[in-house]
Amino acid sequence: MKRTVFCTLALLLALLTPAAANSTPTRLDGVGGSALEVDENCPVTVTAEQLTFQIQRDNDYGRLCAQVTAVYQMENPTEEPLTVPMAFYLEERKGQVGSGLEPSQVSVTADGQALSFTQREVENDDPDRERTALVYTVEFPAGGTREVAVSYPSFSYSIQEGTTYWRHTFTYLLSPAQYWAHFGTLDVEISAPEEAPYIIDSTLPLEAAGEGR
């Protein structure tokens, strides 16, 4: 008999780019704060996560856009098939330029096969932010593994204040991973564009792996 369990996952990256000659404080708000959250009783484990940021300039608004892809290697350690509803959260500031993501911009797959998903608004305590959950379901065979991947564009929080450079920040929440029955390794790979080749701050230790990486 199949069991249904409810599974919900959640780096701070800052880059510099030259700004227009403007000494007044200027900022562009972004989309970030993604998370795959999990119910504490969910037996599914995450053996590894590969997180990639492919960053480039967003031509429409002058900020930076990262195509973020999170690939999870997941395992059902039980002897029963499991039906696991999951939710992946996206957060953005209200009233930002170009806010919101179209369904065509988002991809959710399990073992390379597209999964259907719905978007739902999520209540939060910050009146300046909006949260949306991508809700979908993954079927796990007894003792089986699945590769679950979520890909979406994330727009930087960009600010230029008292300097000739823009500072662009991308956010990806890591703390909800503590609720999985087990969470293994996390590998992060960042490809920065030519106009913003330097990562000046991160909450995780990073190593240079070539120019702009």
The alpha carbon torsion through 148, 152, 158, 164 (nearest 10 deg) reads 100
β-sheet bridge partners, residue 132: 90, 121
The tens place of each residue's pLDDT in the chain, 213 residues long, gives: 554 443 333 345 555 444 333 222 333 344 444 444 556 678 888 899 999 999 988 766 667 889 999 999 999 999 999 988 887 877 776 655 445 678 899 999 999 999 999 888 877 777 777 777 788 889 999 999 999 999 998 888 787 777 777 888 887 767 656 667 788 898 999 998 887 888 888 888 888 888 888
The angle formed by the CA atoms of residues 72, 34 and 105, to the nearest 5 degrees, is: 85
Structure tokens at 93: 């500031």
Extended beta strands in 58-179, E state: 64-75, 82-93, 107-110, 113-114, 118-122, 129-140, 145-155, 157-160, 165-171
User: What pLDDT, on the 0 to 100 scale, is given for residue 122?
Assistant: 75
User: What pLDDT, on the 0 to 100 scale, is given for residue 17?
Assistant: 46
Whole-structure pTM value: 0.79
